Each structure stands twice: as C-alpha cells, then as structure tokens.
Structure 1
Amino acid sequence: MLAFNPLSFHSQQKVRWIFTALFLFLFLFFIFYLLKSYFST
C-alpha cells in the first residue's frame, strides 16, 4: 500500500502536522489571552 502511493501518505502526514501546529498556535494564543485578561483586572 505504501509503495503503491507514497505521495498520498506524505501529503496526509504534512496536512496532519500543519493542523497540529495550527491547533498549538491557537491554544497558546488562547492561554495568552486568558492570562492577559486575568492580569489586567
């Protein structure tokens, strides 16, 4: 299966990595926003 279509597998891994990076970035941004609002009050 992998030898039959390695390009599809590679693109799938890349998409998964991109989504993971996006999720981590949004998570960190959310934490930063919460801390900022917590310290401002």
Structure 2
Amino acid sequence: MAEHKHGTMNIETQERTFDGFLKMVTRATVVIVVGLVLLALING
C-alpha cells in the first residue's frame, strides 16, 4: 500500500466545485429573497 503524506493531494477540482456551489447557493438565495419581497409588495 502506498504511503499517504498529509497535504499532498491535488484538490483544485474540489475547490472549483465548492466555489461554484457557493456562488449558485448565493445567487439562488438572492433570487428567492427578491421574489418573496416582490410577492409581499404585490399582495400588500
């Protein structure tokens, strides 16, 4: 079995995926909040 050395794995792909996930969640949250505010104003 190969010897594992902590901190040597290439994690660029995982970091890009996580960054994309955070951007998607942030944008979706903003869209949902704006939609709720618009619904509240329309139904006032």
TM-score between the two structures when normalised by the length of structure 1: 0.81
Gap runs ≥5 in structure 1? none
Between the aligned residues of both structures, percent identity stands at: 5
In our comparison, the structure showing a higher alpha carbon Rg is 2
5+ residue gaps, structure 2: 1-6
RMSD value, Cα: 1.4
TM-score normalised by length of structure 2: 0.76
Count how many residue pairs are aligned between Structure 1 and Structure 2.
37
Which structure's residues are more often helix, by fraction?
Answer: 1
Highest RCO, 1 vs 2 (Cα 8 Å, sep ≥ 6):
1
